[in-house]
Amino acid sequence: MRNVTPSRIVAAVLLVGLGLVPVIAAAIGEPYYITLFTRIVIFAIAATGLNLILGYGAMVSFGHSMYVGIGAYAVGILSFHGIGNGWAQLAVAIAAGIVFAVVIGLVCLRTGGVAFIMITLAFAQMVYFLAVGLKEYGGDDGLAIGARSDFGVFSLASNTTLYYVAFAVLVLVLVVFERLVHSRFGMVLRGCRSNERRMAALGFPTLRYRLVAYVISALVCVIAGMLLANLARFAAPSYMAWQASGDLIVMIVLGGMGTIVGPAAGAVALLVLEEILAGITTHWMIVLGPAIVLIVLTAKKGLYGYLVGREATRPPPADERP
Amino acid sequence: MSVGLVLTQALNGLQLGILLFLLAAGLTLVFGIMNFVNLAHGSLYMMGAYFAAAVFDRTGSFLLAGAVAIPATMVLGVVVERIALIHLYSRDHLDQVLATFGLILFFNELVRIIWGPASVYMNAPAALSGTVNLFGLPYPSYRFAIIATGLAVGAGLYVLIHRTRIGMLIRAGATHPEIVAALGVNVRRLNTLVFGLGAALAGLAGLMAGPIVSVQPGMGEPILILTLVVIVTGGIGSIRGAFYGALIVGVVDTIGRAFLPTLLREFLERSLAQAAGPAIASVLIYVLMAVVLAIRPQGLFPVRHG
């Protein structure tokens, strides 16, 4: 069969494996694994979201955890005021995400390259300090969330439901992104990655395309943040700490940037690695730090590129949609 | 709100700006000449502060602490550059950011293992523990010494870069590294020299900050982010930009934190002002940076080519 390529096998194994987590956790009587893997899936969603601009648009945002935090605080603040309806929380989170992403995106996209990295980092820090300054909502200590979101037809109260909702969001994001990057929009975005001036000369309003990509990727992170708040029943400024943004980039590079499934695979790999290292020593960061340096120095294509082999570097097949 | 209080806060802002300048100068030099983003610069500052605190703890001598901490940080910077960073000069900025991010995790955990998670304290030297009299205004001598040292270092850097042969090579290397290499200059050694200079400045900043901040794991990150704001505002790669940018950011941040909450109370309800004041004050410099970038994306004092 022509369609059975290594990349599809990797994607299928990853998704089937993640889909079976609650079953396996129930079978071996370790419900903790559901919580652990919910966290992993949530970060896989966020990393996939960031990869849209980082991998396909060459916009290295070092501040995307701020959108995770915005999603988490939307759930937290509404819940604090007694609004537990998931749809209302979703609407507020998306609206807040759009406002922040459009304003911040417009400023950041005026620059490029290394200045873009630093400015996104600085803006994330600004939102972080704003959250610390929200004394009414816990400030530095964060905000406990009384009840998980209730979506009417389903509620996130059960851990298994939350897991499958997060998993469904991940699959949905992967499918939509797979189509998006091969659409006309994705072609323009990838064109800007290689040569923005040429795309502008061809008559494309490149700023608009890049801004839309920035906002989409931010909104995916907002939704990941809503799920994270539901998982932890907590919203804290630490979700937006700059190390969290760095972790997202590590996941993407570890998995393979500019591939659809890579960042999700990287999130699984990094968080499982962290879990194992944390079980061995409390000073696991002393191992993780040099490990990151080594990964950057040696593995150019990421884990996914390594698994898929030469396919990732081969030119795209002729039947790729224009 | 007396004139004396405003003046004291302005001096505090100047002092923060001077510290930021010492870090920004190293970071911007390394970026300007090697096109390298070194997020681990904050870790070098932290290591400088720890080296100083450790020596001070054993000997009680501030001068000795400085004499050890500054060269030690420089050596550490050069070692890290030779082992890891040298392979990253030709990579894109993403790889550089990520690898130095890994180094930050490493150094933070390293100091946690060696010195523990709690803060380490060091005192200002006894000779500088009093106050100086500035036009009838008492100001801590130690903070005054920081300002004086920073200005002296700034002047020294200016002379080094604009008036010496090494400085000429650094400036030439920033714009035309291939030509400089073709003229027979060892650009690799020049890179290491610049990196070591940046590390030494970070160590100096760590030493001087030791007595006025708490020396603890992760102390490098908040100041690193302020430093990034400084060099983006001032213009990346420009020493002049780093100097003015650092002073602007230091003064705006300090004055904002000191007076904005009181100022807001004049216009807003008391409870609202109390809630919003500190939050707005802490984001003031980021707003400043956003405004600068919206008007001049290349920064206030960009490098002049040609």
B90-139 pLDDT tens trace:
888 888 888 999 999 999 999 999 998 888 888 888 778 788 877 777 88
Q: Which chain B positions have a beta carbon within 8 Å of A250's beta carbon?
A: 98, 101-102
- pLDDT tens sequence across B230-259: 988 888 878 888 999 999 999 999 988 888
CA angle B42, B153, B74 (to 5 degrees): 45
Give the distance from residue A66's alpha carbon to the nearest chain B alpha carbon, in angstroms.
Answer: 14
Go through chain A and tell me how many residues it has. Answer: 322
SS3 call for B302? coil
Query: Least CB-CB distance to B286: which of A111, A122, A291?
Result: A122
CA distance B210 to B198: 18
CB within 8 Å: A285 and B289: no
Which amino acid, B169?
Answer: L
The confidence band for B306, taking pLDDT boundaries of 50, 70 and 90, is very low
Which chain A residue has the Cα nearest residue B109?
Answer: A286
Which of A138-142, A216-220, A279-283, B259-263 has the highest average model confidence (pLDDT)?
A216-220
Cβ contact B282:B45 at 8 Å: no
Angle (deg, nearest 10), helices A32-57 and A262-280? 130
Contact A149, A89 (CB under 8 A): yes
B225 vs A125: CB contact, 8 Å cut-off? yes
Residues of A in contact with B228 (CB under 8 A): 118, 121-122
Q: With an 8 Å Cβ cutoff, is A133 touching chain B?
A: yes
Q: Quick one: average pLDDT of A185-201?
A: 91
Q: Helix H segments across A134-261? A: 159-182, 184-201, 206-232, 242-255
The B-side interface with A (CB below 8 A) comprises 31, 37, 84, 87-88, 91, 93-95, 97-99, 101-110, 112-113, 221, 225, 228-229, 231-232, 236, 275-276, 278-280, 282-283, 286-287, 289-290, 293-294, 297
Comparison of pLDDT for A214 and B95, the residue scoring more: A214
Average pLDDT of the segment spanning B223-228: 89
Pairwise CB contact (< 8 Å): B101 & A290: no
Q: Which two tokens stand for residue A183?
A: 């659409």
Does the pLDDT value for residue A322 go beyond 70?
Answer: no
Contact yes or no for B88 and A296 at CB 8 A: yes
Q: Which of B84, B113, B228 sits opposite A283 (nearest CB)?
A: B113
- Which tens digit of pLDDT belongs to each residue from B15-68? 999 999 999 998 988 887 788 888 899 999 999 999 999 999 898 888 899 999
| Residue of chain A whose alpha carbon sits nearest to that of B37 | A114
- A168 falls in which pLDDT band (50, 70, 90)? very high
Contact present, B233 and B292 (Cβ < 8 Å): yes
How close B240 comes to chain A (CA, Å)? 18
Q: A244 and chain B: CB distance < 8 Å anywhere?
A: no
Express each pLDDT in A70-128 by its tens digit. 999 999 999 999 888 889 999 999 999 999 999 999 988 887 778 888 889 888 988 99
Dist CA A77 CA B274 (whole Å): 19
Reported pTM = 0.87
Q: What is the pLDDT of residue A137?
A: 86
Identity of the residue in B102, B110, B275 whose CB atom sits nearest the CB atom of A292:
B102
How large is the average pLDDT for residues B163-175? 86
A300 has a pLDDT exceeding 80: no
